[in-house]
């Protein structure tokens, strides 16, 4: 390497390090998608993409491995995924919120700490006829009638790896872009408040988390012909929307509401990095990776002005696609080498700090229901035989979510996965082509959980299911206790319990061009 190239490399490394330091100093603005994690390395690495053969997917999973790609490589592909989660809610008896709720707290529910609908409104709907009825028609909204699982997602993948200065400076880009809807997110509640919206439970770490685009960039450099270092960032958008409204008639919003909106979209980054050391002739290597916390934040500001001059402002922030700190460590070793036929084994673990999880309402599970950190092991084998390559890998991902015996309904399962890939190379006019097919199936193991019956006679434990019509309720018309209030009344869609299981499938086709 010339003196000029050495200086250029140092400058490039300093610039990249400074940029990443700035990004790490403001992690609350980082934004990313868990899509890469759910798919795995679609270019052959599978669940072991952090430690296995280098590919375009290494741009995100382990950028240090990019230094082992010595030619310009371009990749295009398509991928489909289905999340099929089966959710069964246990039957409810004796806990319905009665119509007398309206009399107990006046028709406007003033002073009501935990607002609720009469259960019959949710099950059968309501028409504004007769006493104690709804002001406007309500359609039936029974439990689990609006579940969100079973979606089929399609993506286009693209990537490039360019050795700018041989192994001393390598650039990588990798992207997964949804085909159809560009992005999306559902800000559902995980407690009794969801009765006002879908009145259903939803998989916490799947569903809408699979519908956001993922784009990552990385640079890597090799030192001493054995030690490689890679740094990267994943890019996404943060969105803030402010809606100002003027309601001339609060009882007729459809024709009297005037609306003015302002939307701001900003770019956020989630930095990550890896280090890889190759022993001897490169037949064995160890790799360590780190990915910083990431999230996609949607801020919503609301301003309402009424004809009497009343002007109220508030702001809410949705936190979507949250991923915690992740630390990976593993390696790869060649166990058979006979020229064109090579067999290697790969294995490792990924440690995730899910105890810091922030949900869609920007709340953090805490106390007895705080999430746990997890260790996810993976194993794999890879065969190269002339122009053919093939491999298989296994992994296990424990759920960080404790049994949901309390107020919250975070739906998640332990899962085990098996994946396979096969590809064949071709040469045309000095250009190497490789066509590959990948497939993966994850089993979401069955999980059943029942709620703890709360004590409704005293002060409520807010971590347990909330009594939505307290025993101390008073009928404001008669100034007498409400007989229907004794015991537990709740519309929490997860009461008295639920069970879940399912499958996660994905398959893809890739084309790589190297020259």
Read off the pLDDT of residues 262-319 as tens digits, 9 standing for 90 and up.
Answer: 887 777 788 999 999 999 787 899 999 999 998 887 777 878 887 777 788 888 888 8
The whole-angstrom separation of Cα 191 and Cα 463 is 10
Look up tokens 């700490």; give the residue: 113
Instruction: Return the H-helix or E-strand segment holding 8.
Output: helix 3-24
DSSP codes of every residue in 117-145? --HHHHHH-B-S-STT--SS-B----TTT
Q: What is the pLDDT of residues 143-179, one digit of tens each?
A: 999 887 778 889 999 999 999 998 899 999 999 998 8
Name the residue ranges covered by the structural domains of the chain.
3-92+143-451+492-514
Alpha carbon 73 to its chain centroid, in Å, reads 29
Closest Cα partner for 487 from 501, 500, 472, 471? 471
CB 259 within 8 A of CB 244: yes
Tokens of 154: 């399609």
Please give the radius of gyration of the chain, using alpha carbons only, rounded to the nearest integer.
27
Q: What is the pLDDT of residues 346-400, one digit of tens each?
A: 999 999 999 999 999 999 999 999 999 999 999 999 999 989 999 999 999 999 9
The whole-angstrom separation of Cα 354 and Cα 513 is 38
Q: Which neighbouring-strand residues pair with 149?
A: none
Residue 479 half-sphere exposure toward CB, CA atoms < 13 A: 0
Tokens of 287: 């790799």
Q: What is the sign, positive or negative, of the torsion defined by CA atoms of 113, 117, 119, 120?
A: positive
Tokens of 38: 């759910």
Geometric angle at alpha carbon 510, from 509 and 514, rounded to 5°: 165
% of the chain exceeding 70 in pLDDT: 89
CB 365 within 8 A of CB 408: yes
Q: Quick check: 494 pLDDT over 50?
A: yes
Distances, alpha carbon 198 to alpha carbons 162, 188, 194, in Å? 47, 8, 6
Q: Please write down the long-range contacts of 188-191, taking CB distance under 8 Å and 24 or more positions apart.
A: 188/360, 189/361, 190/359, 190/361, 190/408, 190/409, 190/410, 191/407, 191/408, 191/409, 191/466, 191/492
Question: What integer pLDDT is reported at residue 182 of this predicted model?
Answer: 62
Look up tokens 């993976």; give the residue: 378
CB 154 within 8 A of CB 178: yes
Q: What is the pLDDT of residues 88-137, one digit of tens each?
A: 999 998 899 998 877 665 444 445 667 888 999 999 998 887 655 787 78
Pairing of strands 388-397, 374-385: antiparallel
Question: What integer pLDDT is reported at residue 9 of this predicted model?
Answer: 34
121: left (phi over 0), alpha (psi -120 to 50) or beta: alpha
Look up tokens 């699982």; give the residue: 149
Question: What integer pLDDT is reported at residue 309 of this predicted model?
Answer: 76
252: left (phi over 0), alpha (psi -120 to 50) or beta: beta
Q: For the domain 3-92+143-451+492-514, what is the CATH superfamily, name and number?
A: Outer membrane protein transport protein (OMPP1/FadL/TodX) (2.40.160.60)
Closest Cα partner for 373 from 393, 394, 349? 349
- Could you tell me the pTM of the whole model? 0.86
How many helices, marked H, and strands, marked E, lie in the chain?
6, 18
The whole-angstrom separation of Cα 489 and Cα 193 is 14
With H, G, I as helix, E, B as strand and everything else as coil, classify residue 5.
helix
């Amino acid at each position: 390497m010339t003196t000029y190239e050495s200086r250029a490399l140092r400058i490039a490394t300093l610039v990249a390090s400074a940029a990443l330091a700035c990004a790490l100093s403001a992690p609350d603005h980082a934004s990313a998608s868990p899509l890469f994690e759910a798919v795995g390395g679609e270019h052959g690495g599978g669940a072991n993409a952090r430690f296995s053969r280098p590919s375009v997917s290494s741009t995100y999973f382990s950028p240090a491995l990019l230094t082992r790609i010595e030619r310009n490589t371009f990749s295009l592909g398509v991928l489909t995924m289905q999340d099929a989660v089966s959710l069964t809610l246990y039957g409810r008896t004796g806990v319905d919120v009665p119509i007398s709720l309206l009399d107990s707290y006046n028709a406007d529910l003033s002073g009501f700490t935990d607002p609720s609908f009469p259960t019959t409104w949710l099950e059968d709907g309501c028409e504004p006829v007769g006493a104690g009825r709804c002001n406007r028609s309500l359609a039936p909204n029974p439990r689990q009638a609006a579940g969100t699982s079973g979606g089929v997602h399609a993506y286009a993948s693209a990537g490039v790896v360019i050795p700018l200065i041989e192994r001393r400076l390598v650039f990588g880009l990798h992207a997964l872009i949804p085909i159809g809807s560009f992005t999306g997110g559902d800000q559902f509640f995980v407690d009794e408040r969801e009765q006002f919206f879908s009145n259903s439970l939803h998989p916490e770490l799947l569903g809408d988390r699979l519908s956001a685009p993922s784009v990552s960039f990385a640079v890597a450099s090799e030192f001493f012909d054995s030690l490689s270092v890679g740094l990267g960032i994943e890019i996404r958008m943060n969105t803030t929307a402010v809606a100002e409204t003027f309601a001339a008639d609060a009882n007729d919003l459809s024709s009297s509401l005037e609306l003015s909106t302002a939307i701001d979209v900003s770019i956020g980054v989630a930095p990550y990095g890896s280090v890889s050391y190759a022993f001897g002739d490169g037949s064995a290597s160890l790799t360590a990776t780190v990915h910083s916390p990431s999230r996609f934040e949607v801020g919503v500001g609301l301003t309402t002005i009424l004809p009497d001059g009343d002007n109220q402002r508030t702001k809410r922030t949705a936190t979507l696609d949250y991923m915690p700190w992740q630390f990976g460590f593993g390696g790869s070793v060649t166990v058979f080498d006979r020229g064109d036929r090579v067999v290697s084994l790969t294995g490792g673990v990924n440690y995730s700090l899910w105890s810091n999880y922030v949900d869609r309402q920007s709340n953090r599970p805490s106390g007895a229901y705080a999430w746990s950190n997890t260790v996810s092991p993976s194993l794999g084998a890879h065969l190269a035989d002339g122009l053919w390559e093939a491999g298989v890998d296994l992994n296990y991902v424990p759920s960080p979510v404790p049994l949901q015996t309390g107020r919250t309904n975070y739906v998640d399962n332990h899962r085990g996965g098996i994946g396979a890939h096969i590809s064949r190379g071709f040469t045309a006019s000095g250009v190497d082509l490789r066509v590959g097919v990948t497939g993966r199936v994850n089993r979401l193991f069955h999980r059943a959980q029942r709620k703890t019956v709360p004590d409704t006679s005293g002060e409520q434990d807010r971590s347990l299911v909330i009594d939505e019509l307290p025993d101390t309720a008073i009928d404001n018309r008669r100034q007498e206790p409400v007989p229907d209030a004794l015991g537990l009344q709740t519309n929490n869609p997860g009461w008295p319990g639920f069970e879940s299981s399912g499958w996660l499938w994905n398959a893809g086709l890739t084309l790589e061009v190297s020259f």
